[in-house]
Amino acid sequence: MSLPQINHSRDLSSEEIKKRIIQVKKDLFNIRLKRATKQNIKSHIFKHKKHELAQLLMLETKKSKE
């Protein structure tokens, strides 16, 4: 599975980006919780979500400057 591509997020509006950031942060929290309670998780998903969050935050900053 490859990392999420930024091209999928570039077409989103500022409001959609903010909603997506909140959703990704919730996903990261749930993954951390599962890892702490020794539940089965796919470890690569944590890396993918962090990567996606960084991309979304960069897009949010870029759009706010425009």
Q: Is the model's pLDDT at 7 over the cut of 90? A: no
Q: In this structure, are residues 56 and 10 in contact, taking their beta carbons and an 8 Å threshold?
A: no
Within a domain: 45 = yes
Residues 15-49 have pLDDT tens digits of 999 999 999 999 999 999 999 999 998 889 999 99
CA distance 4 to 34: 22
Within a domain: 13 = yes
CATH number at residue 11: 1.10.287
Tell me the residue range of the domain where 49 lies. Answer: 6-65
Q: In this structure, are residues 56 and 17 in contact, taking their beta carbons and an 8 Å threshold?
A: yes
Within a domain: 1 = no
Number of structural domains in the chain: 1
pTM of the model: 0.84
Within a domain: 54 = yes
CA distance 6 to 39: 30
CA distance 56 to 66: 16
CA distance 53 to 37: 23
